[in-house]
Amino acid sequence: MSEQYSMEQEEIFSKVMRAGRRTYFFDVRSTKAGDYYLTITESKKFTNDDGSFHYKKHKIYLYKEDFSEFQDSLNEMIQYIIDEKGDEVISERHQKDFKKESDMTPSEVSTENDEPSTSSFTDVSFDDI
């Protein structure tokens, strides 16, 4: 088999889904026997201290004999999450104006924190009670 032929086999059908720093690739590929299977690749971008970046990738191979059970399990897990937590994203890290505590000024940290400041508490000794 020529290299060009094997590349054409691999590019049967693809879809890309971008999600923040992550990108998901869904690719239909062909086995040597000519049957199809699915690869799902998660690619996550990481930035180094010097400003350069690299990607970490994780790949799942899903074959036709597992499609039905995989789909049932995925749908069940998704429905469980929606039933338990709703479909609204509640993680503050997903908000556009989210700031890490390490990036905030001390006054921003105290206003962002729901707990009261300890400076308003009185120091009490158990001997005073």
Radius of gyration (Cα) for the chain, nearest Å? 25
Q: How far apart are CA 31 and CA 64, in angstroms?
A: 11
Q: For 69-106, b where at least 16 C-beta lie within 10 A, e where not — what string?
A: eeeeeeeeeeeeeeeeeeeeeeeeeeeeeeeeeeeeee
State which CATH number among 3.90.420.10, 3.40.50.261, 3.10.450.700, 3.40.50.20 fits the domain covering 8-85. 3.10.450.700
CB 44, CB 56: distance < 8 Å? yes
User: Is the Cα dihedral 89, 94, 98, 102 positive or negative?
Assistant: positive
pLDDT on residue 118: 47
On whether the pTM is more than 0.75, the answer is no
pLDDT on residue 30: 93
Average pLDDT over residues 30-59: 92
Cα–Cα distances in angstroms (integers) from residue 17 to residues 20, 25, 114, 124, in the given order: 10, 6, 35, 57
Q: Where do the domains of the chain lie?
A: 8-85
Q: pLDDT tens, 79-89?
A: 999 999 998 88
